[in-house]
Amino acid sequence: MSRQTISEAGFESSIPLSRAEKNWGGLAVFGNTSSAAVATWCFISGGFVAAYLGATQGVMAIIAGTLIGVFVVLLAALPAASRYGIEAVRSTRTIFGVRGSYLTVVLALTILIGWNAVLMISLSDASSAALAQLGVIGEADAGAWAPVFSLLGIVAVFLLLRRGNRTLRWAGPLVAVTVLALAIWIGATLIAEFGLDQILSAKALAPFGDNHLDFMLVVELGVAGGLSWWPYVGSLTRNAKSMRHAAFPSVAGLGLMMGLVLAIGMIAALAVPASGGDPTAFLIELGGPVFGVFALLFLVFANIGTVMVGAYSAALGLKQLPAVDRRVPWAWAVVIVLAPVALVATVLSEPFMANYGAFITLAGILLGPICGMQIVDYFLIRRQHLDVRGLFSDGAGSSYWYFAGFNPAGLVSIVIGAVTYLVLLDPFTYVPGLEIGFISASIPCAITAGASYYLLMRLVPGLWTTRTAATRSATTPSPTAPAPTPTPR
C-alpha cells in the first residue's frame, strides 16, 4: 500500500493521524472552520438576536457568547485532536467508556445531521423564493421547487466529498474568502440603504423588557452556537500540523467569522423586520437581477461549504463505530449521513424548523456537559496523557473499559449537567427558570458536569485506579506494539 493510500485511509477512517499525515496549515484550518461557521443559519440566528437586543448590544452579546462557546470547545476537543490526531467522538471513550462513547456517536450525528438539514432547508427556500422573485420560476411553483433544490445541494455535497479529505483542503479556503466578501458586501449594502444611525438606533423587535435578561439570553444563544462546533473541531483540527496551526485559525474561523455574519443577519432583521434576518429578498427588490445573482451566490457558496464540512465530520463520526469502520467504504458513509438530511429537508422541513430554537439549545444541554467533563478529564485527571492504544481497543482489555464498557462517572455527570441546564432555562420557550446571572445556562451546566465527574472519578471504587493504569500505559509504550506518535504541543 502506498504512502498516499495510507494517508487517505487515515483521513477517512477512525485511526489516529500520524505527524506525517497532518498536512493542514493555518490557512486550511481557518478556511474549513470558516466555511463550517458561515452560512444562512447565521441569518436565522441573527433574527433571534434582533428579537431581544438592538444593534450595538446585540453585536457585543452574540460575539462574546460565540467566542466563549468556541473557547470551551477548543479546550475540550482540540488537545486530543491536535496532539494525538484523534477525532472528537473517539476521545470521549475516556469519559464514557468504550461502549458508553456510542452515546456521543449518536449525539454528534444528530447535531451534524440537524445542522445540515437546517442549511439545506434554508438554501432551498431562499433559492426558490429568489428565483421566483427574479422571474425564473413562477411564484406559485416556488414551494414545489424547494425540495428539488435541497436534493441538488445534497448531490453536490456528495460529489465534492466522495473522495474524502482532499476536497476540503482547497475548497474550504475558497469558500471562506468568497463568503466573507459577499457577507461584507451585504452588510455594506444594508448600511448604505438605511444609514448607520438608523440601524444603531433600531429597537429590539420582541424583548422581554429586562435588558439584563435580554442580553444574557443572546449570550446564551452564542455560547450554545459555539458549543455546537464540538464535533467539527475534532474532525478538522486533527488534520493540523500542530496546535499552533489549529488554535487561533479555529477561533478566527468559528468565532469571529461566525460573529460577523450573525451581526449582518441581526442588522438585516432590524432594518427589515419581515426578513427574519435573511436579506435575500430585500436585496433583490433593491438591486434587481444583479443583486439577486450575488445573493444567490452567497446562499450557494455558504451553505454548500458548511454542509460539506458537516457531512465530512458526520461520516468520520459514524466510522468511530468499529463495524462501520471495517465494512463501510468512505463514499457510502457519506451517503448514510446525507440520507437523513434529504428526508428532513424534503419531507419534514416545516415541523423541524418550527423547533429550530430547541434544536440550538440541544448543544448547550448535552455538549456543554461533555466539554466540561473532557476539560477536567484531560487536564486534571489524565494530566494531558492519553493511552492511544486503549482508545482503539474495543474489548475488555482497553484502559477505558471501566464497568462492562461504561464509565458511570461520565453517564451520571452528563445527566446532572443536563438537569442543571433545564432548571436554568427552558429550551422550548427560552424562558429562564431561575436567575441565569452573568454566565447564562450552558456554562453552569458544563461546570456542574465537570465537578461531578471529578468527584465521582475520585469516589467510585475502581475508577481512579483505572485512571492510573491508563496514564501509566500512555507514558510507557509497548516495544512490540508502539502507539501512534503524538504531535508535540
pLDDT in tens, 231-251: 888 777 887 888 888 888 888
Q: pLDDT by residue (tens digit) across 65-86?
A: 999 999 999 999 998 888 888 8
The answer for residues whose C-beta is within 8 angstroms of residue 405's C-beta and 6 or more apart is: 97, 98, 99, 100, 396
pLDDT band with cut points at 50, 70 and 90 for residue 400: very high
3-class DSSP assignment, residue 406: strand
Range in 46-50, 354-358, 367-371 the model is least confident about: 354-358
Confidence of residue 438 (pLDDT cuts 50, 70, 90): low
Match 458536569 to its residue by C-alpha cell: 449
Question: For 20-24, 104-108, 208-212, 419-423, which range has the lowest pLDDT when averaged over its residues?
Answer: 20-24
The pLDDT of residue 473 is: 58
Cα–Cα nearest to 386, from 464, 484, 245, 246: 484
Report CA Rg, the chain. Answer: 22
pLDDT in tens, 146-194: 888 888 889 988 988 887 666 766 666 777 777 777 778 878 888 888 8
Is there a domain that residue 320 lies in? yes
* Alpha carbon distance, N-terminus to C-terminus of the chain: 30
Could you tell me the maximum CA-CA distance found in the chain, to the nearest angstrom? 70
Q: Which residue did the predictor score with more confidence, 331 or 467? A: 331
Lowest-pLDDT range of 111-115, 367-371, 462-466 = 462-466
pTM: 0.82
486 in a domain, yes or no?
no
Q: For residues 61 and 363, is the Cβ–Cβ distance under 8 A?
A: no
Nearest to 239 by CA among 170, 322, 291, 138: 170
Residue 471, pLDDT score: 58
| Rounded distance between C-alpha atoms, residue 15 and residue 85, angstroms | 8
- Average pLDDT estimate for 38-59: 83
Q: Is the pLDDT of residue 324 over 50?
A: yes
Q: Identify whether 9 is part of a domain.
A: no
Grid cell listed for 215 = 442580553
> Average of pLDDT values for 123-139?
78
- Segments forming the whole domain that contains residue 201: 32-475
Torsion of CA 416, 417, 419, 425, to 10 degrees: 160
Instruction: Summarize the confidence of residues 373-400 as an average pLDDT.
Output: 90
H/E stretch holding 404: none
CA dist., res. 321 & res. 336, Å (int): 13
Which cell numbers hold the place of 442?
450552558
- Looking at the domain assignment, is residue 343 inside a domain? yes
The verdict on residue 24 lying in a domain is no
Asked if the structure places residue 213 within a domain, the reply is yes
Per-residue model confidence (pLDDT) at position 369 = 95
One DSSP character per residue, 117-185 reads: HHHHHHHHHHHHHHHHHTTSS-GGGHHHHHHHHHHHHHHHHHHHHTTTHHHHHHHHHHHHHHHHHHHHH
Number of domains in the chain: 1
Report pLDDT for 243. Answer: 83
Q: What is the pLDDT at residue 450?
A: 97
Judge whether residue 10 has pLDDT over 80: no
**Position 141 pLDDT exceeds 80:** no
Is residue 489 pLDDT above 70, yes or no?
Answer: no
For the cut 60, the answer to whether the pLDDT of residue 434 exceeds it is yes
- Least confidently predicted of 33-37, 52-56, 110-114, 261-265: 33-37
Whether residue 267 contacts residue 105, with contact meaning beta carbons closer than 8 Å, is answered with no
* Helix extents (H) in 162-279: 165-194, 196-201, 211-227, 230-237, 243-250, 258-271
Average model confidence (pLDDT) across the chain: 81
Q: Residue 403 — φ and ψ, nearest 5°? A: -110, 105
Q: Decide if 51 is inside a domain.
A: yes
Please say whether the beta carbons of 45 and 253 come within 8 A: no
pLDDT band, residue 481 (cuts 50/70/90): very low
Q: Is the Cα torsion angle 225, 281, 184, 172 positive or negative in sign?
A: positive
pLDDT at 2 exceeding the cut of 70 = no
CATH number of the domain that residue 115 is part of: 1.10.4160.10
Establish if 122 belongs to a structural domain.
yes
**pLDDT at residue 346, rounded to an integer:** 87
Tell me what pLDDT residue 6 has.
37
